[in-house]
């Protein structure tokens, strides 16, 4: 199991190091600001860097800071970290499956299936806080099943430091342990250990979360009423949330399940375990199941409860799917192996029975031997393992599917801005602006990658910047352009070479969120108006390629001021 996980991790590493300018999609949000650990004066007075630094869980930030102290850059650490997290995760999945039912086949199926699942999504590869949630969650499950309560407490504290939402699920599981159901009535646990573990965990998590929330300068959290009227949260919005239909409740940001929670298909068998154990034919297997399997039921109940609570107080607990999808996926991961062992065992018994009925009386002595059933079981198990190992090649294209992007074609852009002074401020509506902080270490005024609308203190200023830049980039009023450059102390203006087509704004849905300014500018361009910024290109270009142009903003300001005063254009 570890060897297979290592193989998948190696394939992911090949993607991660395919070029100098390769980064995982979500790392552009959560890792770029950590360059401050190497150079404390990086991103001075940077709204975006300050916001994502403050939003980072305490343990997650401390982990990368320790790496920086040891001389490891955040970007490099984010690329090698997923391999080690996956090995820890697979090892724990194997051990938990073994604890449920000590059959190696089941543990192998569980470990490999879950390994394929996480490498076909970006959990580990992102190296963001959610990359840590599975190894810590499985550690919580393992230690709780083994009744190692000190280590259970350690794991739940670690979860609150790295991925607080799942720590609440773990705490909820400890709360469910205090209540039971028997003879049609509830009863309270008589174990003092359960009460003590819950109380200490509650105090630890509450202290950590209260400390973290007390540091916020970008609140409050957006309310449901506010979000429902914002285009950012509607279909095709940057923070798309409110969608119609069953998909919203099953797989979306408000959904119960992970989008790839049933991938590979072998994981689905984990959902059949309660039914399989209920069948009379599996009485012998049922007696072999670890009694601590109830830990998984308790975790499931807590996760579903918090899922509905998160919907009820939207967005106070952030996104509802954070509470249910990961826990359900983890439960399926550790139970699918047990389910497959039972399924193959029953199938082997059925085939052996059919075989016996077809044989003559003289052959029955051989066919009734348990060796026949064992041989059939072994054949079925070998086939299943073969299909499981071939699964990525048969059904996944590509694999691993981990969200790494290679921006080497923009190397000239990153090299140019990296050579500029450290306090350079770049204004741009181009999607390329989201990569500048990661690869050049320079401040961008806005970017679609960082347009998160969950905290009004942050997003009100961010959206105002976007609206000002849209108006300034396409205005034919020199004074307005000059004012925006002065207000935001812009040093460089990055333009896509198609930036002044009327279709440019409508092409990027995130720009169309900002109304009515976006529509007004489209109308203005369609009427033949020539923006002042476009007029300044010949005079103020610093560097350009076939796809983008960088303008010296100070030159643009002089150009605009001269137009306002009726003076000759700046040279």
Q: Write out 500-547 in H/E/C secondary structure.
A: CCHHHHHHCHHHHCCCCHHHHHHHHHHCCCCCHHHHCHHHHEEEECCC
Do residues 299 and 141 touch, judged by C-beta distance below 8 A?
A: yes
Of 178-187, 257-266, 508-517, give the lowest mean pLDDT range.
Answer: 178-187
What the block records as the tokens of 46 is 């940077």
pLDDT in tens, 534-567: 999 999 999 999 999 999 999 999 999 998 766 5
Confidence band, pLDDT 50/70/90 cuts, at residue 287: confident
- Dist CA 156 CA 139 (whole Å): 9
SS3 content of the chain, % helix, strand, coil (to 5): 65, 5, 30
Q: In Å, how far are 231, 281, 365 from 376, measured between CA atoms?
A: 58, 18, 17
pLDDT of residue 445 exceeding 90? yes
Average pLDDT of span 238-252: 88
Strand order in the sheet with 425-428: 443-444, 425-428, 492-496, 548-552, 541-544
Mean pLDDT of the chain, nearest integer: 91
Report DSSP letters for 14-44, one per residue.
HHHTSSTTEEETTHHHHTGGGGGGT-TTSST
Token code pair at residue 34: 């950590």
d(CA 431, CA 499): 11
Is the four-CA dihedral 489, 491, 495, 499 of positive or negative sign?
positive
Burial label, 490 (beta-carbon count in 10 A; 0-12, 13-18, 19+): buried
Query: What are the tens digits of pLDDT across the range 146-156?
Result: 999 999 999 99
Q: What percent of the chain shows pLDDT beyond 90?
A: 78
Q: Three-class SS string for 309-365?
A: HHHHCCCCCCCCHHHHHHHHHHHHHHHHHHHHHHHHHHHHHHHHHHHHHHCCHHHHH
Cα separation, 476 vs 271, in Å, equals: 62
Q: What pTM value is reported for the model?
A: 0.93
Distance CA 500, CA 351 (A): 70
Each residue of 392-439: pLDDT tens digit? Answer: 988 888 899 999 999 999 999 999 999 999 999 999 999 999 999 999
CA–CA gap between residue 268 and residue 265 (Å, rounded): 6
pLDDT for residue 286: 84
Report the pLDDT value the prediction gives residue 186, as an integer from 0 to 100: 75
Under 8 Å CB-to-CB from 229, ≥6 apart: which residues?
A: none
In angstroms, how far is CA 544 from the centroid of its own chain?
35
Question: Phi/psi of residue 271, each to 5°?
Answer: -70, -15
Beta pairing partners, 544: 549
The torsion angles phi and psi of 429, rounded to 5 degrees, stand at: -105, 5
Alpha carbons 205 and 159: distance in angstroms, whole number: 9
- Residue 255: phi and psi, rounded to 5, are -90, 160
> What was the pLDDT predicted at 564?
79
Report the percent of the chain where pLDDT is more than 70.
96
Query: Would the pLDDT of 571 be above 60?
Result: no
Element (H, E) at 225: helix 224-228
Mean per-residue pLDDT for 233-239?
89
Q: How far apart are CA 131 and CA 141, in angstroms?
A: 17
Q: Which two tokens stand for residue 353?
A: 């029975």
Once rounded to an integer, what is the mean pLDDT over residues 75-83? 97
Q: Which two tokens stand for residue 303?
A: 């996760």
Beta-bridge partner residues of 406: 22
Residue 392 tokens, joined: 């990525």
Consecutive H or E run containing 495 = strand 492-496
- Averaged pLDDT for residues 269-274: 93
Nearest residue to 7 (alpha-carbon basis) of 112, 108, 131, 129 = 112
Least confident of 185-189, 231-235, 442-446: 185-189
**Cβ atoms within 10 Å of 349's Cβ, excluding its own:** 14
- For 299-350, the pLDDT digits (tens) are 999 999 999 999 999 999 999 999 999 999 999 999 999 999 999 999 998 8
pLDDT band at 187 (very low <50, low <70, confident <90, very high): confident
Contact 86, 119 (CB under 8 A): yes
**Which tens digits make up the pLDDT trace of 500-544?**
988 888 888 789 999 999 999 999 988 888 999 999 999 999 999
CB under 8 Å to 158, separation ≥6 — which residues?
Answer: 59, 132, 136, 139
Give the model's pLDDT for residue 538.
Answer: 93
């Amino acid at each position: 199991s570890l060897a297979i996980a290592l193989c998948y991790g190696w394939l992911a590493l090949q993607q991660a190091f395919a070029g100098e300018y390769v980064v995982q999609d979500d790392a552009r949000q959560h890792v770029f600001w950590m360059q401050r650990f190497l150079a404390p004066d990086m991103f001075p007075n940077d709204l975006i860097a300050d916001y994502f630094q403050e939003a980072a869980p305490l343990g997650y930030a401390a982990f990368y800071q320790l790496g920086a102290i040891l001389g490891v850059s955040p970007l490099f650490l984010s690329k090698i970290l997923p391999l080690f997290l996956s090995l820890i995760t697979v090892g724990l999945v194997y051990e938990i499956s073994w604890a449920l039912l000590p059959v190696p086949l089941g543990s192998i199926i569980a470990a490999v299936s879950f390994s394929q699942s996480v490498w076909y999504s970006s959990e580990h590869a992102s190296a963001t806080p959610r990359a840590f949630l599975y190894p810590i969650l499985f550690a919580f499950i393992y230690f709780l099943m083994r009744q190692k309560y000190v280590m259970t407490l350690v794991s739940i504290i670690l979860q609150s430091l790295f991925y607080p939402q799942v720590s609440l699920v773990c705490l909820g599981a400890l709360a469910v342990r205090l209540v039971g159901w028997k003879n049609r009535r509830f009863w309270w646990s008589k174990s003092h250990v359960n009460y003590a573990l819950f109380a200490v965990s509650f105090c630890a998590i509450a202290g950590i979360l209260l400390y973290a929330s007390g540091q916020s300068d970008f609140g409050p959290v957006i309310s449901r009423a506010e979000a429902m009227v914002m285009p950012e949260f509607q279909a095709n919005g940057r923070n798309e949330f409110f969608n119609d239909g069953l998909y919203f409740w099953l797989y979306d940001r408000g959904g119960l399940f992970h989008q790839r929670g049933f991938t590979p298909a072998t994981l689905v068998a984990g959902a059949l375990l309660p039914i399989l154990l209920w069948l009379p034919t599996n009485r012998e297997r049922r007696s072999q199941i670890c009694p601590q399997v109830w830990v998984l039921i308790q975790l499931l109940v807590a996760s579903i409860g918090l899922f509905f609570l998160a919907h009820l107080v939207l967005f106070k607990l952030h996104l509802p799917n954070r509470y249910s999808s990961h826990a359900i996926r983890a439960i399926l991961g550790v139970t699918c192996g047990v389910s497959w062992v039972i399924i193959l065992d029953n199938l082997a018994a059925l085939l052996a029975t059919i075989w016996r009925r077809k044989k003559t009386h003289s052959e029955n002595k051989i066919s009734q031997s348990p060796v026949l059933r064992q041989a059939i079981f072994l054949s079925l198990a070998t086939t299943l393992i073969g299909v499981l190992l071939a699964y990525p090649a048969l059904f996944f294209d590509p694999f691993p599917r981990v969200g790494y992007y290679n921006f080497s074609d923009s190397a000239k852009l990153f090299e140019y801005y990296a050579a500029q002074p450290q306090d350079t401020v770049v204004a741009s509506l181009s999607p390329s602006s989201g990569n500048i902080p990661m690869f050049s270490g320079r401040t961008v005024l806005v970017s679609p990658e960082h347009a998160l609308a969950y905290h009004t203190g942050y997003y009100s200023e961010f959206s105002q910047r976007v609206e000002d830049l849209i108006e300034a980039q396409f205005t034919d009023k020199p004074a307005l352009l000059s004012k925006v450059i002065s207000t935001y102390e812009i040093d460089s203006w990055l333009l896509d070479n198609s930036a002044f087509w009327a279709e440019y704004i409508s092409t990027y849905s995130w720009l169309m969120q900002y109304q009515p300014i976006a529509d007004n500018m489209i109308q203005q361009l369609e009427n033949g108006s020539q923006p002042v910024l476009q007029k300044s290109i010949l005079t103020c270009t610093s560097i350009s390629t076939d796809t983008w142009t960088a303008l010296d903003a100070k030159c643009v300001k002089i150009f605009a001021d001269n137009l306002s005063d009726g003076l000759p254009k700046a040279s």
